[in-house]
Amino acid sequence: MTLKLVAADYGDSAANSSEKYWAEVVKEYEAEHPGVRIDVDVYSWNDVDREVKEMVDAGNAPDMAQIGAYADYAADDLLYPADDLLSISAQADFAAQLADAGRVNGVQYGMPFAASTRLLFYNKELFDEAGISAPSTWEELAADAAALKAIGVKYPYALPLGAEEAQAETMQWLLSGGGGYTDETGAYSVDSPENVETFTWLRDELVGEGLTGPVAPGKLNRADAFAAFAAGDVGMLNGHPSLMTMAAKKGVKFGMVPMPGVNGPTKATMGVADWMMAFKQNGHGREVGEFLDFVYSERNVLAFSREYDLLPVTNSASQTMGGAEADQDLRPFLEELPLSELYPVGKTSWAAVSADVKKRIGGAVRSGGSPAAVLGEIAGTAVAAEGAAAGS
């Protein structure tokens, strides 16, 4: 029997392509299960979601897909519930908030595969030169940014609200202001008073004061902001673990602290997860479950997380990593994971909302921009997308 897996590539070169990771996993698994072959196709993040969609649309779904979102396939009743696949111990080992984000109507279809959180990175040398320390409140962040601007720092605070990943920077700021994309009931609350206040503050106190650099936030992409930080041109910005490696390679001395909030460090940070899912079409549930139990073993989860500077999605691997001296650089991100909130990925409407955030949110902070109007437009998109999802 052959099981087909389509997976995303987390590497940045041929030397660390995910093909190598999966080749090792498959080699070991097939040696222990001589009647099973695992056929893995790895695609770049630019292509993998589309490739899986085309396969599904053509009636040729893979047995498993490790991609960015699962909700559309769950809504179309194409996926096995995790309960039908994994052993009880494997399913119980998922970090609770990641498992919760994989549920639709209380049933888990998305199995978390990789996770990361965000911290505020700051350039220690620039902070020393400006005579400032890491901020814990918005007021301190703005004051630090002003001090950095005064010594000629190009991007005192880099605010990437460009099309690449605006939904991430937006969510981190919404959480730091006590809001978010959704409320406690899970309903969209994009234009809540807290969210409007957050973006009004950003417009007036950071962007309006010239503290976000020469590129308008709506035109600044996350990759360019990270590259500028690694080049020593950014005082501070929100970053995930891969930025540590980028900055260290360029010799940038940096510190990391929780995202500042209105009156102190933010209580909730943004978490991001990618997903494994299993399609029912080929009827290989038992065999897929046995393979995934192996994939989610502590050793394999640790190996993947360490290779790509990501956080383990299981409690057992997180505990091991938290206590390992070799992993101490990831510990601050690990500590944030239990406090993290994820995008509302269980909603099939989220893709449309996320796309609208990328398109519009930069306009909320430009001179003369209206946060209330822009957030209201995105909220309208959310209502329409939710209605379309409910009617489909």
216 pLDDT more than 90: yes
Which token pair is 159? 């605010």
- Measured from the Cβ of residue 200, the count of other Cβ atoms closer than 10 Å reads 17
Note the maximum CA span of the chain: 67
> Closest by alpha carbon to 328, among 260, 247, 271, 256?
256
Average pLDDT over residues 269-283: 95
Q: Answer for the pair 11, 18: CB distance below 8 angstroms, yes or no.
A: yes
Confidence bin at 318 (pLDDT 50/70/90): very high
Specify the pLDDT at position 89. 96
pLDDT at 15 over 90: no
Distances (CA, A) of 70 to 80, 103, 244, 315: 11, 10, 29, 22
89 burial level (CB within 10 Å; 0-12, 13-18, 19+): exposed
- Domains of the chain in start order, with CATH, are 2-114+272-341 (3.40.190.10), 119-258+347-391 (3.40.190.10)
Instruction: For 49, list phi and psi in degrees, rounded to 5.
Output: -65, -40
Closest alpha carbon to 39 in 16, 65, 15 = 65
pTM for the model: 0.89
> By the 8 A CB rule, do 239 and 169 touch?
no
Inform me whether the pLDDT recorded for 324 exceeds 70. yes
Q: Residue 336: which of 273, 262, 259, 226 has the closest Cα?
A: 259
Residue type, 205: E
Tokens at 84, concatenated: 């039908």
Cβ contact 67:287 at 8 Å: no
For the cut 70, the answer to whether the pLDDT of residue 153 exceeds it is yes
In the predicted structure, residue 28 carries a pLDDT above the cut 90 = yes
**pLDDT number for residue 392:** 60
Where do runs of H (alpha helix) occur along the chain? 18-32, 48-57, 71-75, 88-92, 96-101, 124-130, 138-150, 166-176, 193-201, 222-230, 242-249, 285-295, 298-307, 315-323, 331-336, 350-360, 371-391
Tokens standing for 32?
A: 């222990």
Nearest Cα residue to 112 out of 103, 120, 125: 103
Query: The sheet that has 119-123: what strands, in order across it?
Result: 155-157, 234-239, 119-123, 254-257
- pLDDT digits 0-9 by tens, 218-273: 999 999 999 999 999 999 999 999 899 899 999 999 999 999 999 999 888 899 99
Q: What is the per-residue pLDDT for 190?
A: 98
Least Cα distance to 348 among 162, 30, 77 occurs for 77
Residue-wise pLDDT tens digits, 166-193: 999 999 999 999 999 999 999 999 999 9
- 105-118, pLDDT tens digit by residue? 899 999 999 999 99
φ, ψ of residue 386 to 5 degrees: the values are -65, -40
pLDDT for 16 equals: 87
Confidence (pLDDT) at 102? 95
282 pLDDT higher than 90: yes
Output the CA torsion sign for 106, 110, 114, 117. Answer: negative
The pLDDT value recorded for residue 56 is 97
Per-residue pLDDT at 338: 86
How many Å apart are CA 228 and CA 247, to the nearest integer? 10
